[in-house]
Amino acid sequence: METKELLKKVRKIEIKTRRLSNNIFGGEYHSAFKGRGMTFSEVRSYQFGDDVRTIDWNVTARYNEPFVKVFEEERELTLMLIVDVSSSALFGTDSALKKNILTEISATLAFSALQNNDKVGLILFSDQIELYIPPSKGKTHVLRIIRELIEFKPYSKKTDINSALEFLNKVMKKKSIAFLLSDFISSDYEKSLKIVSKKHDLTGIKVYDKLEEFIPNLGLVQMFDQELGEIKLIDTSSSKIRKNYKNQMFMNFKKFNDVFTRNGAGTISCRTDESYIKKLLNYFKNRG
């Protein structure tokens, strides 16, 4: 991709997602994800309605009038975006690839963190760690993350969620807010997720396309497996094949929700033709 075209795409996503984070998600993000605790800020005169438990008795005795201690949230947090860049993310209909939605959601979360002065880091993964950008602050850093989400070309086409979770646990020694964004078409990953969810505030965001929910009856169809790089001839007129596929996708959704919920992690499912804005907003509000 040429530099001019890339900058144009980055700017377009920045305008859209930054407006969302400023006008909608900033406050909700702050409420949903609390800081590490309360830290002492200052002492001020007692006002009607103040909790008597906050009275500073030493200062009160010194000045012969009541003073209270003021505490503020120790806010600084680290947001980690763990994004699936395997070839299955290149699927999509209605001009909305899964990759595009994953990028926009990631950018919205990054700008929400930026607005709250939190650090943001990025892990891009396939069946290996493709790219790691350590957490940092600032608009320039967030724009670099967006550029990588748009432009990065992975070395591998396959998916391994385990490797991404294990890497997060290795590089992040302290607790972080972690969003794992994928279509979750992957093998068993519960063991790694269980370990990560004990240490980090983890949320899984599943992005999928409407045509992945079922196979329409179109007769004999050539289907290309993005991750395996294979073309298969599928008889979509077979009710058995369509039913088996539908059951398999249902089990995939159930597994995603069950595994995350069982381990105390949050979940968001978003179809490419749905509003991820509403999905994120509802999630933040329910957490707050």
Residue keyed to tokens 């790691």: 132
Are residues 81 and 67 part of one domain?
no
Burial of 52 per CB tally in 10 Å (0-12, 13-18, 19+): exposed
Q: Which residues of the chain have pLDDT under 50?
A: none
Note whether 148 and 249 are same-domain residues.
Answer: yes
Cβ neighbors of 234 (< 8 A, separation 6 or more) are 215, 220, 221, 222, 223, 241
223 & 112 share domain: yes
Query: Residues 69, 87: one domain?
Result: no
Q: Which CATH number fits the domain that encloses residue 253?
A: 3.40.50.410
Same domain, 63 and 135: no
Indicate the number of domains in the chain: 2
Residue 198 CB partners (closer than 8 Å, separation 6+): 263
Give pLDDT, residue 286: 82
**203 and 67 inside one domain:** no
Please write the tens of the pLDDT for every residue from 212-263: 777 777 777 766 566 566 677 776 777 787 787 778 778 888 999 999 999 9
* Predicted local confidence at residue 47, as pLDDT: 84
What's at 260, amino acid-wise? Answer: F
In this structure, are 79 and 149 located in the same domain?
yes
**Contact by Cβ (8 Å): 46, 67:** yes
Note the pLDDT tens digit of each residue in 156-187. 988 999 999 999 999 998 889 999 999 998 77
Phi, psi (5° rounding) for residue 207? -110, 130
Q: Are residues 61 and 128 in the same domain?
A: no
196 with 130, same domain: the answer is yes
Last residue of a domain, one of 19, 50, 73: 73
Tokens of 235: 């008889």
Return the half-sphere exposure (C-beta side, CA atoms, 13 A cut-off) of residue 246.
Answer: 11
pLDDT at 79: 94
185/263 same-domain check: yes
* Residue 112 lies in domain: 3-31+75-287
Cβ 148 vs Cβ 81: under 8 Å: no
One domain for residues 49 and 186: no
Same domain, 123 and 144: yes
